Amino acid sequence: MSLADTTAATSSRQPDAGSPAPRRHGPWWFPWAVALGVTVLATGLAFALPDYWLLIATSVLVAMMSLLGLGIVTGTAGMIALCQLSFAAVGGWVMDLLMTQTALPELLGGAAFVVAMLVGATAASLLGLIVGLPALRLRGVNLAVVTLGVAAALDMTLQKVSFPDQWTNERVQRPFGIPGAEDLSGNRSYFLFVAGVVIIVALGVFYLQRSRWGAGWRMVAFSERGTASTGTSVTSAKLSAFMVSAFIGGIAGSLMVGQITTANYITFQTLNSLGLYVLSMAVGAHLIEMAFFGGILFVLIPEILKQFNIPLEWASIIYAVLGIQALTTKSSMGNDLRRMILAWQRKRGLNSIESTLVSLEPVGAPVPAASDNVLLEVKDLRVEFGAVVALSDVTMQLHEGEILGLIGPNGAGKSTFVDSLTGFLPHHTGSVTLDGVELDSLAPHKIARAGLRRTFQQDRVPSTMTVGAYARFVGGKEVDEDLIDEVLAFFGCPGTQAPLQMVDVGTRRLIEVAANIAAGPKLLLLDEPAAGLSHEEHVAFADRLRAVPERFGVSLLIIEHDLDLVRSVCSNLVVLNFGQVLATGRQEDVLANPEVLKAYMGETEMVS
Ligand SMILES: Nc1ncnc2c1ncn2[C@@H]1O[C@H](COP(=O)(O)OP(=O)(O)OP(=O)(O)O)[C@@H](O)[C@H]1O
């Protein structure tokens, strides 16, 4: 499409034809209805089960609590933690200390248990913070070794120090009983108390998973770079996952101590933490219902072995088989189940979600003209990878309201340029300023917050969220929800309720562009945004991009190999070659420059 083909811009912010359905939030009462149902069920079980099975049921709930915590680090945030029972041990130890060695029970009566439990969980979350620190730099096997080391060290310490109740042979008093129950501190009321705590924590996890924190955990599991480029600190996301996980682990430890009213280091041994990790991976403990199922397995496998007089050590072999299955298939029972439901829905033609970009009425905006205000100023940018000079003395400007194209042959330094500007290559020299603010010394998430955002060549949109959750996360705390709907509709993206799992990769990249525009940056860098789009989608996408600066107030820097798109949307171009600026200026002039023709494409293709 040439300049002559374009018509006047429409700058009004009217909703487009083909808008997604109005935003609907899931029924708010659903989790509360489930919680009520579980409460009724637990109350029924408390009065129906014999004493021995009440103890077993309590153990299931406590194991579920441990798995709920572990699921946050392993399933949601995608890290490895082999010391979940160390957090439980710290929680249990502190509660044991407060309940048997201090005047807390006399002072607070039945409520002392709850206070001690919360103090213990807080202490465990501090250990979570310490364990999380290495996770900022380590991944995979290295992180596994560190967390295993923590578990082993705590194991040995507990063997030496022992639990406080054993110093004086006192027992931990269980919490206040349930009114009307006969045995106010007995197994029935304790089961009900534990069930209540589990329901509260499960509700907390449910809402956390859907909060900004939860979205950060999911993002960090999928892509740390993607997370940072949305303005979220990877450090905070990882540490908060470890701290919340450890807090819940600490509560589980307190409940374990309350169950047996005394404590022993054997309960919290490293081997048990390993078993819990394997189970968490095998069932997919980031899903609340699967954490419950995992709790049943964790308690029932040894119980069944006991019933058949099989040595309990065989339980480890069963966990090992489950672990091998989960690690080799890189999936969990929960995820498999969800995938099966999805495949079944697809077979029935339900929920297939596609972009409506090509069916949108063209906006017909002209290629935007740049204003006189310099928005981005890059001076003498230089990046070296050992002996390779990837960028050398790159100097360029981008003006407010402009769509600037950055082109160059393979290996010219385009990705290195984008990475340096957005903080992912901190060791560059030279200077980068955005709207007068120096960006050089800032971390990637701070650069994003300063108003310079980017999208990626590779898919950085996690399939574990809905379109709306992702867009709200990318948009930041202050994002206008109506603007999210508007930008999604503007690019023909699915509505906010659509699960990203149902959306193809090309449409996901459109959603990434839309969400970043809704975030309202001053400048958005699009790294090969049209890759993976069909010809018709290219044309429609270019039409929409041209309207972005005026309609949404976002300037664009587009890195693209596709010269049709560049011709169609960019007023000015910068050409990189061997890490240096080969040409810069008006698009028509640059594309006619013989040096550019020679270096970039070969004359025949450019002239045609
Ligand atoms: N991490 C790295 N270590 C060493 N050399 C690198 C590294 N990253 C990039 N380079 C080199 O720097 C130069 C510029 O690479 P860059 O990826 O920025 O080019 P590009 O223009 O984005 O290429 P493409 O269009 O193929 O994506 C190339 O010579 C590349 O081999």
Residues 138 and 91 in one domain: yes
Q: Are strands 572-577 and 388-399 parallel, antiparallel or unpaired?
A: unpaired
Residue 488 lies in a domain: no
pLDDT tens, position by position, 199-210:
999 999 999 998
Check whether 109 has a pLDDT greater than 90: no
Cβ–ligand 1 distance for 428 under 6 Å, the answer: no
> Does residue 293 lie within any of the structural domains?
yes
% pLDDT > 90, the chain? 47
pTM equals 0.83
Domain count, the chain: 2
Instruction: Give the per-residue pLDDT at 13.
Output: 34
Domain-embedded: residue 503: no
* 410 CB within 6 A, ligand 1: yes
Residue nearest to atom 4 of ligand 1 (CA): 385
* 331 shares its domain with 380: no
- The verdict on residue 416 lying in a domain is yes
CA of 596 relative to ligand 1 center, distance in Å: 19
**Quick one: pLDDT at residue 70?**
95
Element (H, E) at 195: helix 187-209
Q: What percentage of the chain reaches a pLDDT higher than 70?
A: 92
- Residue 371 is classified by DSSP as -
Do 159 and 250 lie in one domain? The reply is: yes
pLDDT of amino acid 421 = 94
The residue range of the domain holding 409 is 369-451+522-545+554-607
pLDDT digits (tens, 9 = 90+) for 470-501: 999 998 888 888 999 999 999 999 988 888 88
How many helices (H) and strands (E) in the chain?
25, 10
**DSSP states of 89-126:** HHHHHHHHHHHHHSSHHHHHGGGHHHHHHHHHHHHHHH
Report CA(579)–ligand 1 centroid distance (Å). Answer: 9
Query: Do 403 and 555 touch, CB atoms closer than 8 A?
Result: yes
* CA–CA separation, 493 and 295 (whole Å): 40
| Mean pLDDT, rounded, of the chain | 86
Our answer on whether the CB atom of 411 is closer than 6 Å to any ligand 1 atom is yes
Distance CA 337, CA 339 (A): 5
CA separation for the pair 407, 378 (Å, rounded): 16
pLDDT at 256: 93
Tell me the residue length of the chain.
Answer: 608
Cβ-proximal residues to 497 (8 Å cutoff; 6+ apart), any chain: 21, 23, 24, 466, 467, 468
Report the pLDDT value the prediction gives residue 413, as an integer from 0 to 100: 92
Asked if pLDDT for residue 327 goes beyond 50, the answer is yes
Cα(190)–Cα(184) distance, rounded to whole angstroms?
8
Give the residue with greater pLDDT, 49 vs 316.
49
Which tens digits make up the pLDDT trace of 47-85? Answer: 899 988 999 999 999 999 999 999 999 989 989 889 999
In a domain, 495, yes or no: no
The CA angle 322-345-28, to the nearest 5 degrees, is 85
Q: What whole-number distance in Å separates Cα of residue 565 and Cα of residue 24?
A: 35
Strands (E), 80-164: none
Same domain, 278 and 374: no
Please measure the distance between the N-terminal and C-terminal CA atoms of the chain and give it in whole angstroms.
14
Report pLDDT for 331.
79
Q: Specify the CATH number for the domain of residue 100.
A: 1.10.3470
Pocket test for ligand 1, best of 381, 382, 414, 582 (most atoms within 8 A of CB): 414
Backbone angles phi, psi at 384, to 5 degrees: -120, 140
CATH of the domain at 579: 3.40.50.300
DSSP 3: G
In this prediction the ipTM stands at: 0.95
